[in-house]
Amino acid sequence: MQALNDSLRGRDFISIHDYTPEEIAYILEVGVILKKEQKQGIPHPHLAGKTLGMIFQKSSTRTRVAFEVGMYQLGGHALFLSPRDIQLGRGETIKDTAQVLSRMLDGIMIRTFEHEEVLELAKWADIPVINGLTDLLHPTQVIGDLMTIKEHKGQLKGLKLAFVGDGNNVAHSLLFGGAKVGMDVVIASPPGFEPNPQILSLAQQDAQTTGAKLWVVNDPAEAVSDADIVYTDVWASMGQEDQAEEKEKQFLQYQVNQKLLSLAKKDAIVLHCLPAKRGKEITGEVMDGPQSVVFDEAENRLHAHKAIMALLM
């Protein structure tokens, strides 16, 4: 354990691809421990006196609350930094921002559009940088997802997860996550909306270590057949609002409804990273149904984020 602690301390958390299967397993284990302690009322001030700067170029409910409450429960303090609060993108370079914040903070969480902004921030910062979401990846979400799956299924290796919808940042991080824990992941997207082929290729290389199978199809029924987990997300991500109407037409057959869910295993669970557009990518019947664990998943963001911060900072 000490070797894993040492390997994680001071690291950035930009992509699950950057971590070994053992490191991902350890982060999940720590998340479970911190959740258990919080439920039992056991204090765990591992980051007492430390500060996290939270840069939000994209707004959020779960990400902000999870990191802010997480820092409080870990004994530290979080600062919310909106585009109105800092000079990033208004004349000051990312390099200068990174160097200034490194002198005052113990860690930075950034939620933004361009993935390159996170890479640039991490390049110049002397403190851990955590990717809270970019248009390319959403790694902190998937740590919470993996916690939730293990909580409900008792394992990760050998399960089949079917993601139905746009081949987006969540789909990309699920491919990396599945590859690291030995979980099969199939993405079902309409033609032209499949995941980034470079991400798929990297994840498949990762999967050679754990034996996970990763593939992409266009038929949602094929993907969901015999799945242990059915996952969906909004069809038009934040910043794609102008594409929402057109995407709805192309994604009509990709709604997670009771009919599609019936093709999965009888004990399959349903995940959604939220916020959900009920009646679009998922029906209210499924989201509020007995197989849905979306609110457990949302809660686990708190404990997953705490594990990441406690280990890195």
pTM: 0.97
pLDDT band at 223 (very low <50, low <70, confident <90, very high): very high
Three-state secondary structure string covering the chain:
CHHHHHHHCCCCECCHHHCCHHHHHHHHHHHHHHHHHHHCCCCCCCCCCCEEEEEECCCCCHHHHHHHHHHHHCCCEEEEECCCCCCECCCECHHHHHHHHHHHCCEEEEECCCHHHHHHHHHHCCCCEEEEECCCCCHHHHHHHHHHHHHHHCCCCCCEEEEECCCCHHHHHHHHHHHHHCCEEEEECCCCCCCCHHHHHHHHHHHHHHCCCEEEECCHHHHHCCCCEEEECCCCCCCCHHHHHHHHHHCHHHCECHHHHCCCCCCCEEEECCCCCECCCECHHHHCCCCECHHHHHHHHHHHHHHHHHHHC
- pLDDT value at 38 more than 70: yes
Q: Please check the confidence at residue 74 and state whether its pLDDT lies above 70.
A: yes
User: 2-137+299-312 belongs to which CATH class?
Assistant: alpha beta
The model's confidence at residue 217, banded by pLDDT at 50, 70 and 90, is very high
Give the model confidence (pLDDT) of 99-156 as tens digits: 999 999 999 999 999 999 999 999 999 999 999 999 999 999 999 999 999 999 999 9
- Report, as an integer, the average pLDDT of 152-173: 98
Determine the pLDDT at residue 86.
81
Look at residue 111 in the predicted model and tell me its pLDDT: 96
Q: Which of 76-85, 119-128, 167-176 has the lowest mean pLDDT?
A: 76-85
282 φ, ψ (degrees, to nearest 5): -145, 145
Confidence at residue 247, expressed as pLDDT on a 0 to 100 scale = 87
Whether residue 91 is predicted with pLDDT greater than 80 in this model: the reply is no
Q: What is the pLDDT of residue 289?
A: 98
pLDDT given for residue 62 in this prediction: 94
User: Does the pLDDT of residue 270 top 80, yes or no?
Assistant: yes
Domain extent listing, the chain: 2-137+299-312, 142-295
Mean pLDDT within 296-304: 98
Whether 187 shows a pLDDT value over 90: the answer reads: yes
Q: Is the peptide bond before 275 cis (omega within 30 degrees of 0)?
A: yes
What is the reported pLDDT for 59?
86
Residues labelled as active-site residues:
111, 138, 141, 233, 273, 301
Domains 2-137+299-312 and 142-295 share a fold: yes
Instruction: Say what the pLDDT of residue 110 is.
Output: 97
pLDDT tens readout for residues 243-257: 778 889 899 999 999
Q: What is the pLDDT, as a whole number, of residue 244? A: 77
* Tokens at 77, concatenated: 């303090």
Name the CATH code of domain 142-295 (choices 3.20.20.480, 1.10.10.10, 3.40.50.1370, 3.40.47.10). 3.40.50.1370
At residue 241, the pLDDT reads 75
Residue 243 pLDDT = 79
Q: Quick one: pLDDT at residue 245?
A: 82
Confidence of residue 275 (pLDDT cuts 50, 70, 90): very high
pLDDT band at 90 (very low <50, low <70, confident <90, very high): low
